[in-house]
Structure 1
Amino acid sequence: MANEHATNKLVLDRRGFIKLSAAAGGVLFLGAGATACAPAGNGNGNGGRAGYAGDAVVTGLASLIHSAPFFIAEAEGFYEEENLRIEHIQFPGGLDAVRGVESGIGLGTTSTIPVFIAAQSGLDIKIIGNVYTAASVDFITVPDSPINTIEDVRGKTVGVSAPGSNSTYFAERTLREAGLIPGEDVELVAVGSASDSWTVASQGVIDVAWSASPLSEIIDAESGRKVIWRSRDFVTEWSDTCLVATGDFVDEHAEALRAWKRAIGKGMDLISTDLERASEIYGRAIEIAPEIAFEALSNSQDFYSLVLTEAQIDAVIAAGREQGQITRDPDVDAIVLKDFA
């Protein structure tokens, strides 16, 4: 299930990724190709405090709220404290990000369901930790709409990205849990990206748009929006994005991965303890006003965690099976490395 929440802010080069540096204030660096990770420092391959330099895939880097701890870890020197030099590389969707990790980059973060899809097809991908634990799709409309609750969408139209996307899954699931039958009580309309969804909703073509933070907060600041419901209000156990690495990378650079997790954990801690400072860094990195970043992070403050629970794993697998993307029981113990996750 590719994570397709995206704004129109990014333009990918022909190789399909963009490097972003929080330290450079959100400046975009177009990459000519993925650089394989390699140890730095003494070159002993142990990583961690012995030194490590390389790239890390981050799906939805500049467009999704789960990326905030990565920007913070870089900008606040948490990577440097762990003797890491990590450069973030954006990939547009979950499966693309998994393939990027597996093709030579070695580590990154991606939507969680695509990891199990990739493992099913034989890719050597391991989950080493959680990142964002909330179902991230929101459903919004224009401020003067008569729609105020999910029950009010009976007989209305709701925009989703495309069949098989996160937005479609959560629209169908939350509507059913509210007692509505998708396709009968509510028409789902494929409209593309979250920004496209808002455009057609604001023009009155559909009644409700799908969205995700921080785009939802950006829309609110620019034109106003009304949140009708959030998927996380119905889906209480979830892993939206997780930390991953190839099996070979785990074997060769286990300490580097632990150091990376510690640095990201410090970024998460800053969001919990100093929201104003975290918002300043995040807003600068993705080029939005700090007050918008503050609102976005305050709405997500409780959903950052490195801990991956069995209930979250079960929920993700069940969603993949329901969508027909996971067709057999995965070997969870082989995919989720409990010593890490």
Structure 2
Amino acid sequence: MGAGAGCATQSRGRDGVYRGDVAITGLASLIHSAPFLIAASEGYYEEEMLALENVQFPGGLDTVRGIGSGIGFGTSATIPVFIAVERGLDVKAFGNVYTAASVDFIAPADSPINTIEDVRGRTIGVSSPGSNSTDFAEKTLRLAGLTPGVDVELLSVGSASDSWTVASQGVVDVAWTASPLSERIIAETGAKVIWRSRDYVQDWSDTCLCATTPFIEKNRDVLAGWMRAVGRGIEMIDTDLERAAEIYGRAIKYKPEIALAALENSRGFFSLDFARPQLEAVVASGVEAGRLGGKVDIDSVVVEL
């Protein structure tokens, strides 16, 4: 697994093999990356005449910028694709990946907090203002009848691992996290899930496949082959969970049983197909959070290969 900007060389050789990088947000840290890691490990890329290096990027907007700066394609959180288009980047989404709201909220095993209603008068650790963790904390709290900043205090504490550290030290009462880190913390410390964002947000596209328009026009066959390879990774998760967990756990250096728990909790949420309500929910959430303008043309951003 690479990290950072990757190499700018993207080409198909005389042997017919396309060689290059593919940008993946949260490659080593977020559950949506499992099909890509499985595809790379099992030779699915090679069978599509693709020699791809999965390159990790830390966040959605960083990933989209990497795609726009030369890599050409990859997977990003879905909202940042719409944000990037509003800012003038010529990028399109052409496939879904993970269809559940991915942020979880956990507390130490001995915490008196057991439900979202119990956080009234408490503090929640989130990443930073405008982040997915903040957006989902605010959205789910409101749906549960609580007002962020009034009934519950949100504190910006950084990454999911940082959030758990301050929660375990008693600085905040509840920490934000996401699979597979959620399952790892639970297995290692006995922590408990208080609520998952997907309990409250049913229609959602968390991450998607995307590429610049010039890349799509020049390399439609590359993208189609990549989708098929990733689709086979999803199929393994759906049909052979233990094998998928073994491969995924090895790739991210997690124990197989933790990887299995993470994939089991996410089973059924992997899909390459967009549903209109999912996209509408993403756009509405972006507008509500002030990250998107009020007029967003979904059909100008989402395309079919």
TM-score of the two chains, using structure 1 as the length reference: 0.87
Distance 1:95 1:194, change over 3 A: same
CA deviations over 1:173-216 (Å, ceiling 9, x no partner): 10111111111111111111111110111011111110100111
Matches of 1:334 and 1:105, distance apart in 2: 22
Matches of 2:294 and 2:12, distance apart in 1: 37
CA deviations over 1:224-282 (Å, ceiling 9, x no partner): 11000000000000011000011001100101101100000000000010011000100
By how many angstroms is 1:31 displaced? Answer: 6.8
SS of the residue aligned with 2:117? helix
Matches of 2:65 and 2:5, distance apart in 1: 17
Matches of 1:31 and 1:265, distance apart in 2: 25
Which residue does the alignment assign to 2:8? 35
Letter of the structure 2 residue corresponding to residue 332 of structure 1: I
Matches of 2:228 and 2:183, distance apart in 1: 29
Letter of the structure 2 residue corresponding to residue 260 of structure 1: W
CA deviations over 1:49-92 (Å, ceiling 9, x no partner): x5322110000000000000001001111111111111111111
Matches of 1:84 and 1:140, distance apart in 2: 40
Select 2:128's aligned residue among 147, 162, 185: 162
Which residue does the alignment assign to 2:93? 127
C-alpha contact (below 8 Å) 2:103/2:197 kept by paired residues: yes
Matches of 2:5 and 2:130, distance apart in 1: 31
Letter of the structure 1 residue corresponding to residue 80 of structure 2: P
Which residue does the alignment assign to 1:56? 22
Which residue does the alignment assign to 1:85? 51
By how many angstroms is 1:302 displaced? Answer: 1.1
Select 1:146's aligned residue among 88, 107, 112: 112
C-alpha contact (below 8 Å) 1:130/1:307 kept by paired residues: yes
Letter of the structure 2 residue corresponding to residue 297 of structure 1: L
Matches of 1:32 and 1:319, distance apart in 2: 29
C-alpha contact (below 8 Å) 2:61/2:80 kept by paired residues: yes
Distance 1:32 1:66, change over 3 A: closer
By how many angstroms is 1:32 displaced? Answer: 7.8
Letter of the structure 1 residue corresponding to residue 118 of structure 2: D
Select 1:210's aligned residue among 172, 176, 183: 176
Matches of 1:33 and 1:120, distance apart in 2: 25
TM-score of the two chains, using structure 2 as the length reference: 0.97
Matches of 2:301 and 2:242, distance apart in 1: 37
Select 2:229's aligned residue among 246, 259, 263: 263
Identity rate, percent: 63
Moved >4 Å (runs of 4+): 29-33
By how many angstroms is 1:334 displaced? Answer: 2.0
C-alpha contact (below 8 Å) 1:36/1:106 kept by paired residues: no
Distance 1:40 1:62, change over 3 A: same
Which residue does the alignment assign to 2:65? 99
Which residue does the alignment assign to 1:191? 157
Select 1:117's aligned residue among 75, 83, 95: 83
Deviates more, 1:307-316 or 1:319-328: 319-328
C-alpha contact (below 8 Å) 2:128/2:158 kept by paired residues: yes
Q: CA RMSD in A?
A: 1.3
Matches of 2:132 and 2:6, distance apart in 1: 28
Matches of 1:260 and 1:269, distance apart in 2: 14
Letter of the structure 2 residue corresponding to residue 80 of structure 1: E
C-alpha contact (below 8 Å) 2:6/2:21 kept by paired residues: no
Which residue does the alignment assign to 1:176? 142
C-alpha contact (below 8 Å) 2:7/2:20 kept by paired residues: no
By how many angstroms is 1:33 displaced? Answer: 4.5
What is the number of equivalent residue pairs in this alignment? 305
Matches of 1:108 and 1:30, distance apart in 2: 13
